[in-house]
Structure 1
Amino acid sequence: GSHMNPISRLAQIQQAKKEKEPEYTLLTERGLPRRREFVMQVKVGNHTAEGTGTNKKVAKRNAAENMLEILGFK
């Protein structure tokens, strides 16, 4: 279902394709302590996507969402 959160969905798609799990990397953290911005990168096969957010979880989720779009699951 597409009502799943993008992180789980991406992991499931990879499992279904019998491919490696998505790899998430925190690229940078910027901004002031109270106004932080995190940049997370996700790698799936030879594709990479980035996502930003006010915390790591949001950044990761946005990265997963962008990856789903790249892979054509949007």
Structure 2
Amino acid sequence: MTELTWFKSSHSSNEDAACVEVAWRKSTYSSNEGAQCVEVAETPGTVHLRDSKDKTGPQLTFEPAAWKAFIDFAANADV
């Protein structure tokens, strides 16, 4: 199992005790060689997606229902 990397959400304030932490995990569909790695972090209202080779680069965000629809479509696609 891949170790999760936790970080405090940028939407949490330093004064508020109710912080949100997010853990990135490598997609199970990514290759072990790292050629096409995707990392996913899920929060109650958003699913975040990033390139594991560019952890500080751009991220995509999806509503959970849209992410589930994509996963369902990809799982049933004829490749």
Q: Which band: TM-score by shorter chain?
A: 0.3 to 0.5
Higher relative contact order (CA 8 A, sep 6+): 1
Q: Which has the higher helix share?
A: 1
TM-score by length of 2: 0.42
TM-score by length of 1: 0.44
